[in-house]
Amino acid sequence: MKFLPLIWSSLARKKVRTVFTLLSVFIAFLLFGYLSAIKAAFQGGVEIAGVDRLIMVHKMSLINPLPFAYKRRIETTEGISAVTQASWFGGYYQEQRNFFAQFPVDPQGYLDMYPEISVSEEQKQAWFADRGGALIGRGIANRFGWQPGDRIPLISPIWRNKDGGNTWEFTISGIFDAGVEGFDTSNMIFHHEYFDEGRAWGDGLVGWYIIRVDDPERLQDKAKELDAMFANSPRETKTTSEKEFLQGFVDQVGDIGAIFTAIISVVLFTLFLITGNTMAQSVRERTAELAVMKVVGFSRRRLLSMVLSESMLVAVLGGGAGLGTAWLIVTTGGDPTNGFLPAFYIQTKDLVMGVLLVIAVGAVSGALPAIQAYRLENIVALRKVA
Amino acid sequence: MNNWIAQVVSVTGMNIRSLPQRWGSTTVAVVGIAGVVMVMVGILSIAAGLVDAMTDKAPKDIAIVLRAASTGEMDSIMSRDDVTAISEAPGIARIDGKLLISPELFVIVDVLRRSTGTASNVPMRGVDANVLAVRDNVRITEGRMFEAGLNEIIVGRGAQEIFEGIELGDTPRWGNNTWTVVGVMEADGGMPESEIWADVRVLQAAQNRGSTIQAVRVKLASPGAFGGFKDFLTADPRVNVSVQTESEFYSGQSRFFSIFINSIGIFVGVMMGLGAIFGAVNTMYTAVSARTGEIATLRALGFGASPVVFSVLVESLLIGLAGGLIGAALAYLIFNGFQISTMNFQSFSQVTFSFAVTPALLKSGVIYALLMGFLGGFLPSIRASRLSISTALREL
Amino acid sequence: MAILVDLKDVSKNYQRGPETVHVLENLSANVPEGDFLALMGPSGSGKTTLLNLIGGIDRPTSGNISVGGQGLNDLSESALGKWRARHVGFIFQLYHLLPVLSAARNVELPLLLTNLGRSERKQRVAAALSLVGLSDRADHRPAQLSGGQEQRVGIARAIIADPTLLLCDEPTGDLDRKAGDEVLDLLEALNEEQGKTIIMVTHDPHAARRARRILYLDKGTLGPEPVE
């Protein structure tokens, strides 16, 4: 610690250079943090998927509906503790570009199935009481600025209603937040009864089932059992764990993780070069000074650790500021697409990775120069000076 | 003026010749800039590729009719009556007296992706057996067209490469039906290459759709006939439809994806660019301070300040150019033509396309690199011009 | 007087390309405690080399050097460093101060290698600076000091750990007469009042005369008279 002023002053030697190097590190880690949030938006849901939940869809594809009659049969199956249904409403607000997800559900059943939905008791009761009411996620509320009490009309191209048009009226009963970080709040849930009564076709059909099993260990077994139950029927099913189901979507988008890793690798590689080069320059310019310190009695090892400390200091200051700023922007700025992304946050594992990378940058970029300092031959260095 | 140019040339010449001494930090700046260009062009080529596959390859003389207010083919619903009304509109091409109309169904089926082994929503389209006359940008390149009334399908070249189990001769099973792949189709990289096509009536039955369809495609007598065709249908009280050219339609369908990807690409590009600029600044400052003695001597001899400034900028621009060319070349070699398939959320189905590193992108990349080089050299060049000659000479 | 520095049959060679340069050959000499020795001789005679060997910055090709009873050949690289920090103070022609540090911090440098606490270090630095007459310049950077002042900071740094031996390589070489004299006054005081043994390499006869004795190094031999 007493060496800190010495280390600091070495950096202060060429202030401009140090500042620009710090900025490079800062930018790199700011980018890392922000991209991590984007990555989490695509991948994060999988992490928090319920360990005891299954999703059952039509075997052909999830856009094909399932009979409502299946619910009873699933409910009464051994090992199943709850079943609830949801469907795809497919509506948009005024213009097609204002589309978002809306699900007609069984209110009590859905909220029980998803304790991650965090809504005030008052708003919950208001929703239960109003057949035409809807709960919107925080992401939707932010995007459109809707408040509880607002009446909003939605157009559903798929679901013509009984009066012949495609417009459905809803009242916002409340806004729900993510009880668990990363839970999707870019959708709306409303009463299945309202939907069923109003739609001109599709009687007796629902979109998919969400099923809770008693024993998470038997998740896969139960899934197979349920599919076997409906095999060879006109509407066969495909049941998977919620995690697999969500992972399937992620896989469909493509290998986001790989793309992210690739970009970050290029960024870091370049960063190593920049900071490493700066450190090397700095050491090269200071051979005489380093030699003097050796004369005064500083050992090789001490010089090595001092140079390493310099690069570490730059990395930690710049990288720490970059990660911190990214975190700040992500948490206060929120979703850059204003509601299209299901969630937007930096996962803990990525923060940890960020810190490790900061240390790596410090170590790798300082390694060669530190070794140069270690290997400094007194005479050669002093003679250069004299 | 001549004198000035002569000065610039000689100073720049000296700079260039002394470059090898500073090759370490110069390389770093070049690599940094190259990296930025490569990544940015790479990301932007994704959107360019999608737009190319979807919009550029979409014919302008094929119109698509959907139910009004639909967001795409998937949520549109039309009946046979609608088809009849549409067939009465002007401007539709004929062959041997027959109208070139294609009523179509659009659904998705689960197919396993080769790379992950997990299922993806691949678009499956129900069409009439004469569809190739209407959609004449599509050709069968292997096997043959399916026979009406049978469980036969043809598969797009792109879909085949990304997904498994749908090659010529394969018999995939969806729902309670087994299908046989009898042909492979291509469309110059356009949308049909991501799809699976079957007989519309067979598909309707398999999907419990009764006799409803979702989209009607029509080959126009000429691109100019579109206006009349659209006006007729918009005014017709029997139908409630939206009419677009295929090109317009797909342009809308790819909007979000391309905006999203381009935003990310630009964001990443700008951030990385800043980093590269900072790296370049360091390099140029080093370059300047390494040559303080030279510069001071030149100034003492009477060389003006501006040739010095200029020479520093020229050097940093060259660094930018080198980085830009290398980055662009790498982007082209690594990314161009790389085939991927991703979920287009607007159509909720997979689109297969290739990264397209277009000449426009390459040009932008190099220009951006030059900008980075310039900005990197700007401050140092000012510093070089402000050098106090006497101080510098004393330090020699 | 006890012997502080003892050189026995010391030789030093350098490789210069294909040639081997024999700088010192079988040199034997000793320096008693409390001596103030001026070392003179033509350029390239090996004066600086000899100084470096005595200070442990370089190792002889053959022969033994012992300082204060400690045989330097026995010490490892890092042990030599530690030893040097405690027992030797170096003063250079070009001062070799760290330009980014203030005078006080420059002087403090050797103390960072000890276990002394912050306030103790501050005290010692203040004492050293006051001894060389630069208390009012403690916060100045080398760039803000004159040559003579820089050298005095160098001296303060050299004595801060209270070493027995001071090795000076052309300490007045870069200074004008007045500044040089101030430096020499300091050295003299350090020798006479504090009993420090000083070996000073110099070109300048004026400086040499301030020492207690003068030796001439030429063609690898050390003698009381300049070789003609």
With a CB-CB cutoff of 8 Å, which residues 61-80 of chain C face chain A? Answer: 77-78
C and B adjacent (3 or more CB pairs under 8 angstroms): no
Q: Please name the residue of chain C whose CA is at the shortest distance from the CA of residue A295.
A: C57
Residue A147: exposed, middle, or buried by beta-carbon count in 10 A (0-12, 13-18, 19+)?
exposed
> Which residues from B are below 8 Å from A236, CB to CB?
175-176
The per-residue b/e assignment along B195-207, b for 16 or more CB within 10 angstroms, e otherwise, is bbbbbbbbbbebb
pLDDT of residue A172: 96
Angle between helices A348-374 and A300-328 (to 10 degrees): 150
For chain B, the average pLDDT equals 88
Is A385–C96 a contact, with Cβ atoms under 8 angstroms apart?
yes
pTM as predicted? 0.82
The answer to whether the CB of A64 falls within 8 A of the CB of B207 is yes
- Shared-domain flag, residues B188 and B277: no
pLDDT digits (tens, 9 = 90+) for B37-94: 999 999 999 999 999 998 888 888 999 999 988 889 988 989 999 999 999 999 999 9
Is C94–A2 a contact, with Cβ atoms under 8 angstroms apart?
no
pLDDT digits (tens, 9 = 90+) for B335-361: 998 888 888 888 888 888 899 999 999
The answer to whether the CB of B340 falls within 8 A of the CB of B353 is yes
Q: Which of B239, B271, B292 is the last residue of a domain?
A: B239
pLDDT above 90 covers what percent of chain C?
53
Q: How far is CA B273 from the centre of its chain?
A: 21
Domain positions in chain A: 4-46+255-385, 47-253
Is B109–A252 a contact, with Cβ atoms under 8 angstroms apart?
no
Q: Please name the residue of chain C whose CA is at the shortest distance from the CA of residue A12.
A: C100
Confidence band for A70, pLDDT divided at 50, 70 and 90: very high
Q: How far is CA A276 from the centre of its chain?
A: 32
H or E stretch covering B33:
helix B23-51
pLDDT digits (tens, 9 = 90+) for A185-199: 999 999 999 999 999
With a CB-CB cutoff of 8 Å, which residues 4-43 of chain C face chain A? Answer: none
pLDDT of residue C222: 80
pLDDT of residue A256: 67
> Which residues from C are below 8 Å from A5, CB to CB?
101, 105
Smallest CA–CA distance, residue A24 to chain B, in Å, is: 5
The Cα B158–Cα B192 span in angstroms is 9
pLDDT digits (tens, 9 = 90+) for A306-356: 989 999 999 999 999 999 999 999 988 877 777 778 888 888 899 999 999
H or E stretch covering C213:
strand C213-218
The Cα A13–Cα A8 span in angstroms is 9
Is B340–A254 a contact, with Cβ atoms under 8 angstroms apart?
yes
Is B24–A280 a contact, with Cβ atoms under 8 angstroms apart?
yes
pLDDT digits (tens, 9 = 90+) for A197-222: 999 888 899 999 999 999 999 999 99
With respect to residue B365, please indicate whether it lies within any of the assigned structural domains: yes
With respect to residue B248, please indicate whether it lies within any of the assigned structural domains: no
- Shared-domain flag, residues B304 and B275: yes
> Which residues from B are below 8 Å from A255, CB to CB?
115-116
pLDDT digits (tens, 9 = 90+) for B295-339: 777 777 667 778 878 888 888 999 999 999 999 999 999 999 888
Q: Inform me whether the pLDDT recorded for A385 exceeds 60.
A: no
Q: Please name the residue of chain C whose CA is at the shortest distance from the CA of residue A292.
A: C96
pLDDT of residue B97: 85
Number of structural domains chain B divides into: 2
Q: Which fold has domain C3-63+75-99+162-223?
A: Rossmann fold (3.40.50)
Q: Which of B197, B214, B239 is the last residue of a domain?
A: B239
> Which residues from B are below 8 Å from A157, CB to CB?
67, 69-71, 75-77
Rounded to an integer, the average pLDDT of B228-256 is 91
pLDDT digits (tens, 9 = 90+) for B171-225: 999 878 899 999 999 998 899 999 999 999 999 999 888 889 999 999 999 989 9
Rounded to an integer, the average pLDDT of A103-128 is 96
Residue B169: exposed, middle, or buried by beta-carbon count in 10 A (0-12, 13-18, 19+)?
exposed
pLDDT of residue B395: 55
With respect to residue B302, please indicate whether it lies within any of the assigned structural domains: yes
- Shared-domain flag, residues B363 and B265: yes
C neighbour chains, 3+ CB pairs within 8 Å: A
Which residues sit opposite A154 in a β-bridge? A168
The Cα B11–Cα B284 span in angstroms is 15
Confidence band for A248, pLDDT divided at 50, 70 and 90: confident
Smallest CA–CA distance, residue A267 to chain B, in Å, is: 7
B neighbour chains, 3+ CB pairs within 8 Å: A
Could you tell me where the DSSP H helices lie in A132-241? 138-144, 192-198, 219-230
pLDDT of residue A383: 58
Confidence band for B108, pLDDT divided at 50, 70 and 90: very high
Strands, E, within chain B: which ranges? 62-67, 94-95, 98-99, 101-112, 119-127, 139-143, 152-156, 173-174, 177-178, 180-186, 196-199, 215-219, 241-245, 339-344, 349-354
With respect to residue B278, please indicate whether it lies within any of the assigned structural domains: yes
Q: Which of B239, B264, B288 is the last residue of a domain?
A: B239
pLDDT digits (tens, 9 = 90+) for B140-161: 999 999 999 999 999 999 999 9
Which residues sit opposite C62 in a β-bridge? C11
> Which residues from B are below 8 Å from A16, CB to CB?
285
Is A63–B108 a contact, with Cβ atoms under 8 angstroms apart?
yes
Question: Shortest CB distance from A270 goes to which of B31, B207, B350?
Answer: B31
Which residues span the domain enclosing B302?
Answer: 2-55+255-394
State the count of interchain CB pairs (< 8 A) between A and C. 72
CA nearest neighbour of A101 among A183, A191, A184: A184
Q: Inform me whether the pLDDT recorded for A173 exceeds 50.
A: yes
Q: Please name the residue of chain C whose CA is at the shortest distance from the CA of residue A288.
A: C96
Could you tell me where the DSSP H helices lie in chain A? 4-12, 15-47, 70-75, 107-113, 121-129, 138-144, 192-198, 219-230, 242-253, 256-285, 287-296, 300-328, 348-374, 378-385
Q: Please name the residue of chain B whose CA is at the shortest distance from the CA of residue A93.
A: B69
With respect to residue B60, please indicate whether it lies within any of the assigned structural domains: no
pLDDT of residue A386: 44
State the count of interchain CB pairs (< 8 A) between A and B. 153
Q: Inform me whether the pLDDT recorded for A367 exceeds 70.
A: yes
